[in-house]
Structure 1
């Protein structure tokens, strides 16, 4: 074996022990303090001496015994303080006791995992971790949520039972109306604010569309629909204490759905237009006929009223004339009877072409009697 030393008292890879000199020892010979076994070998460090030196050095640093006869006092305490100070500096550095918040950010400081305070931008101080930790969040960043990428999100039913395809965008950020509570609510009350905003926005838009007819949504009522949706979204998120401020709601697309639904929608719209046209025609006919009928009814009532009044007046006049004739008849029956006969014959023969001549009166041969009757009728008409 190459490590064996047959000339020494004990073999081994590190040379023989005791006081024997071994030229094959790589560490050199250990000094012989007892004075036996020859002298020293070549100069070199001894492992046991190195260990004893380290023990004396650290023992003196921490106030222990550096040797059998030395006691360390003051230097050990000073070393302990130095080590403690170094450990404190390392802890402060690793624990980030000094931290910086960038402009536009807010820092949420948690002490042992519970909310403690909100810090503004700039240099701030806190207890090192794990006592206090800080969460940074963009406070002024405007974020967007787009709704309507799929049919499940975009197709909605209107109040007049039509389907509308709506795409809209919601712009939001961390609530700046109450910075401290807004950041706190944003961090701790909602697990995923973006998902919450999207869910609430879709629900609010369906509520608005469900109470609005199709025509305003796809034409002139988009602004009103967006404003109403924004109000409902903000009110709902405030009730959740989500720490979210809604900045704007924009309708990017609002039309009837494409494909077969469009054909059905057009049929429904055409039927609705026909219905409205029929209703308008009926109203126009009613507006024409009803006043005419009312006018005829009023005219007939007035004619009936006039006929009734005339008949009553005539009857009353006849009754009064009869009474007067009767009074005259009582006083002069023959004269009255003769007069009544003549007046009656005059009324009967007024329009007749018959000419009666007295037998004793004679007739003039050249008198045109037929023309006399016509002349009499003409004079009577005038």
Structure 2
């Protein structure tokens, strides 16, 4: 049963029973004024009409209220700036100062404090199709990492720093890509394009006084449009094959050229050695001839016979068979020197002596005499 239904009873009346309704607002306000007047030392003023009396605060009470209000106002002015932050203070809407990390105080209601993180590395990404210097279309995707270098400029100079950064990034990238060939953008020139884009982008941001410092520009992807990607893949493979063949040719050249130079140097050294050998042998032969001539002048007969014997020794040392024309006969005498040498070798092995050329010569002469005598007898 609801409290306001008939028969509910006074216990169901939220205002205290007897269905009196809510208390009078004026009476409640009057009681509150009396309590405050008694606390702060005031008193009632007789009005004579029975309407109650207004209360007033003493000077001491007003001072206490003012002090309390000032304390509360001062406490609201304290704030903490973290180590990675800087605080930009606006006084009555105008830039006042940039506050460093630590416990700070600024008058509330007058100053507005904006904390900005200056160490956090932020990033944005961009992607788009652009026209190169050689009039080809490329699809480039890149990302930018940046930090806040000047909190005041970042907060006040530019309305939307991130949006300005995106526009400046697109402008910088289009300018750099438009000044480069397509093969540079797609293959080996990515790093240089990223560097040039970063320099130009930082120049734009400094001109805008955006308070942004670009830390890194990364070219994440650069390729031809999907409609012609297969053709550009073929071109890329052809360039890779060209570089591979070029490297193989250089490797072959690096291997064959030193060998050719070594062979040429060897031939030069052999020629120089042969030249020195021929010159030395010629000088030796000339000196030998001079010495021999001197000896010949001293004893011509003995020297002539010695030369003749030396010539025979030299000639017979390489001959195995000798044919001798016998005087007074028509037959040629045959001397088997190889057989004689074998017999001589057997004799030396048996006797244990060294070979003697003179003994062999004596045997040859003895054999010649015998053959000469037999030829003469046959002629008679």
Q: Normalised by the size of structure 2, how large is the TM-score?
A: 0.48
Select the structure that is richer in helix. Answer: 2
Q: Normalised by the size of structure 1, how large is the TM-score?
A: 0.48
